[in-house]
Chains A and B, each alone.
Chain A
Amino acid sequence: MSSTSTTAGKARSANALDAAAWRRWLGHPWSLGLIGILAVLLVWQLIAGSGLVDKLFLPSPEAVWKAGSEQYARGILIKDLLASVGRVGAGFALSALVSLPIGIAMGCSRVICQLLEPLMGLIRYMPAPAFIPLLIIYFGLGEEPKILLIFIGTVFFNTLMIMDSVKFVPSELRETALTLGGHGFQIVTKVVAPFIAPQVIDAYRINMASAWNLVIVAELVAANEGLGKRISLAQRFLRTDEIFVGLIVIGLIGLAIDLGFRLLMRRACSWAN
Chain B
Amino acid sequence: MHLSVSGVSKTFGHGPRAKLVLDDINLELDSGEFVALVGSSGSGKSTVMRLVAGLERSSTGSITVDGRPVRGPGSDRGMVFQKYSLYPWLSAAENVAFGMQLQGRPKREVNERTAYFLEVVGLSDAGRRLPRELSGGMQQRVAIARALAADPKVLLLDEPFGALDLQIRESMQEFLYQLWERTGLTALLITHDVEEALLLAQRVHIMAPRPGRIIRTVAAQLDRSNLAHLRVSRPFLELREELAGCLRSLDAGVPA
Contact = CB atoms under 8 A, between A and B. Distances in A.
Interface of A: 170, 172-173, 175-183, 186, 190-191, 194-195, 197, 269, 271-272
B79 interface: yes
Interface string B67-93: 000001111011101011101110000
Interface in B84-141: 84-85, 87-89, 98-99, 101-103, 130, 132
Nearest to B80: A176
Contacts of B150: 180-181
B219 interface: no
A180 B147 CA distance: 7
Interface of B: 53-55, 72-75, 77-79, 81, 83-85, 87-89, 98-99, 101-103, 130, 132, 143, 146-147, 150, 152, 156
Contact of A175 (B79, B99, B101, B152): B79
B14 to A, nearest CB: 17
Contacts of B72: 178
Nearest to B76: A181
A-B CB proximity, top 8 nearest: A180-B99, A181-B75, A178-B73, A179-B79, A182-B102, A271-B89, A172-B85, A181-B103
A177 B102 contact: yes
A176 B103 contact: no
A181 B105 CA distance: 12
B102 A195 contact: no
A257 to B, nearest CB: 25
A143 to B, nearest CB: 38
25 contacts: A170-B85, A172-B84, A172-B85, A173-B85, A176-B81, A176-B85, A177-B98, A177-B99, A179-B73, A179-B152, A180-B78, A180-B98, A180-B146, A181-B75, A181-B99, A181-B102, A182-B99, A183-B102, A190-B101, A190-B102, A191-B87, A194-B87, A269-B89, A271-B88, A271-B130
A178 B102 CA distance: 9
Nearest to A269: B89
Contact of B79 (A176, A182, A195): A176
A178 to B, nearest CB: 4
Contact of A179 (B53, B88, B89, B101): B53
Given A175-B73, A179-B77, A194 B84 contact: no
Given A178-B72, A181-B102, A271-B88, 12 more contacts: A172-B83, A176-B79, A176-B85, A179-B78, A179-B79, A180-B78, A180-B147, A181-B75, A195-B87, A197-B89, A269-B89, A272-B88
Contacts of A173: 84-85, 87
Nearest to A180: B99
Nearest to B149: A180
B75 A180 contact: yes
Contacts of A272: 88-89
A175 B99 CA distance: 12
Contacts of A190: 98, 101-102
Nearest to B73: A178
Contacts of B152: 179
A178 B55 contact: yes
A170 B86 CA distance: 11
Q: Which of A172, A173, A181, A197 has the most CB of B within 10 A?
A: A181
Contacts of B143: 176
Contacts of A177: 98-99, 102
A165 to B, nearest CB: 14
Contacts of A197: 89
A267 to B, nearest CB: 13
A195 B89 contact: yes
Nearest to A181: B75
B65 to A, nearest CB: 13
A181 B147 CA distance: 10
A181 B100 CA distance: 8
Given A172-B81, A186-B102, A190-B102, A181 B87 contact: no
Nearest to B83: A172
